[in-house]
Amino acid sequence: MRYKRFGKTELQVSEMCLGTWGIGGAGWDSNSEETRLDAIYAAVEAGINFIDTAPAYNNGEAERMLGRALKNMGKRHEVVISTKCGNFFNDGVNYIRDCSRDKIIQQIDDSLRNLQTDYIDIMLIHWPDPKTPFEETMGILSDLKKAGKILHVGVSNFSREQMEEVDRYCTIEAYQPQYSMVSRGNEAQIKWAAEKDIGVMTYGSLGGGILTGAIREVKEYAPSDSRNRFYKHFQEPTFSKIMEVVKVMDRISAEHDNVPLSQIAINWCAQKEFISTCIVGSQQRRKIFENVAAFDWSLSADEMAMLDEAIHTYLD
């Protein structure tokens, strides 16, 4: 594993952060609770010291799994936890954004309980809530930071303008946008954040799994599956275009003893100096070790250029 400074937080974090959306047990392929818990053990064994979660992931279940796993391992203080606030399930199906003072207080208390901890390393606003003034949300996050319940404050899915505004009320130290070979729309504001020394943790590094080469045909997913609801590129016309990029990944893999394609997608993100860590979701030990092995080798400048050319040709 490689480690990098996480912006102005000065934390040293693994360049791969484990994502726990699937580990929460809803919205993705289903695995037993034992398998999902074991994924967290595997990540820590593999050297991952940064784990991302959220109350929105199956109504707190991902946080509860993480709390249990870290308690069982006795590793709470060795792992940096990021979780989120302001976004929750109201009925198990629809997400509601609410960044009002009272909701944030209640949600963070719930997260502390779920995670079996008395502090959260990084607290992110999950999505901007247009109904609540930023001053109110950042005011309460600033108070909770002073109280020691949270150590660092950040945002996810914010625009650059929104980040500039919230930073006036409470310094933001972490930014979590979507970014991968199939989602580069946030690149300009990621670079801006990195220049401001904000730790950048990018999500969807495998494009929700499409960049692993494991999915080569359009499939039917359950209506609640994230590959229906959240990552729209599992459907045509984008699916076939991505498959052309995957063929270029196949050629690069063949030059490196047939490395799994997931490692190419991870290196494409992690090798960029403006990214502190890339979040990768997996519920399975085998896949986590496979993904972490990305850090045993690097893409050459020529291979990066081949990938960028394919992305430009098929996805721009």
Ligand X SMILES: NC(=O)c1ccc[n+]([C@@H]2O[C@H](COP(=O)([O-])OP(=O)(O)OC[C@H]3O[C@@H](n4cnc5c(N)ncnc54)[C@H](OP(=O)(O)O)[C@@H]3O)[C@@H](O)[C@H]2O)c1
Instruction: Name the residues annotated as catalytic.
Output: 57
Q: Which is nearer to ligand X, 143 or 284 (CB)?
A: 284
Tell me if 107 sits within 8 A of 115, measured CB to CB: no
204 binds ligand X, rule: CB under 6 A: yes
Q: How far is the CB of 146 from ligand X (least distance, A)?
A: 25
Q: What is the DSSP string of 37-57?
A: HHHHHHHHHTT--EEE--TTT
156 binds ligand X, rule: CB under 6 A: yes
- Figure out which of the listed residues 6, 28, 88, 179 binds ligand X, where binding follows CB under 6 A: 28
Site for ligand X in 251-280 (CB under 6 A): 260, 262, 279-280
Q: Which is nearer to ligand X, 45 or 143 (CB)?
A: 45
Using CB under 6 A as the criterion, what x/- string covers residues 34-73 for binding ligand X?
Answer: ------------------x---------------------
- What pairing do the DSSP bridges indicate for beta strands 120-125 and 150-156? parallel
Q: How far is the CB of 88 from ligand X (least distance, A)?
A: 13
- Figure out which of the listed residues 239, 284, 293, 315 binds ligand X, where binding follows CB under 6 A: 284
Site for ligand X in 66-125 (CB under 6 A): none
Instruction: Name the one residue in this structure whose structure tokens are 């850090």.
Output: 295
Binding piece for ligand X, criterion CB under 6 A, among 67-75, 134-142, 245-253, 287-295: 287-295
Q: Which is nearer to ligand X, 143 or 229 (CB)?
A: 229
Q: Chain centroid to CA 117: how far?
A: 21
22 binds ligand X, rule: CB under 6 A: yes
Q: Which is nearer to ligand X, 54 or 148 (CB)?
A: 54
Report the alpha-carbon distance of residue 176 to residue 190 in Å, rounded.
9
Max Cα–Cα distance, the chain, nearest Å? 55
Binding piece for ligand X, criterion CB under 6 A, among 3-11, 167-175, 248-256, 283-291: 283-291
- Figure out which of the listed residues 132, 205, 267, 276 binds ligand X, where binding follows CB under 6 A: 205
Q: How far is the CB of 22 from ligand X (least distance, A)?
A: 4
Which helix or strand (DSSP H or E) is residue 192 part of?
Answer: helix 187-195
Q: Which is nearer to ligand X, 21 or 295 (CB)?
A: 21
Q: Which is nearer to ligand X, 114 or 143 (CB)?
A: 114
249 binds ligand X, rule: CB under 6 A: no
Q: What is the DSSP string of 1-21?
A: --EEE-GGG--EEESEEEE-T
309 binds ligand X, rule: CB under 6 A: no
Could you tell me which residues come within 8 angstroms of residue 19 by beta carbon, excluding any fewer than 6 positions away?
Answer: 52, 203, 279, 280, 281, 282
Q: How far is the CB of 178 from ligand X (least distance, A)?
A: 6
What angle separates helix 33-45 from helix 285-292, to the nearest 10 degrees? Answer: 20
CA torsion through residues 222, 60, 96, 153, sign: negative
Report the alpha-carbon distance of residue 11 to residue 29 in Å, rounded.
33
Q: How far is the CB of 23 from ligand X (least distance, A)?
A: 7
Report the alpha-carbon distance of residue 172 to residue 269 in Å, rounded.
22
Tell me if 284 sits within 8 A of 35, measured CB to CB: yes
Measuring CA to CA, which residue among 211, 130, 199 is closest to residue 171?
Answer: 199
Binding site for ligand X (CB under 6 A): 19-22, 28-29, 52, 126, 156-157, 176, 203-209, 212, 214, 260, 262, 279-284, 287, 290-291
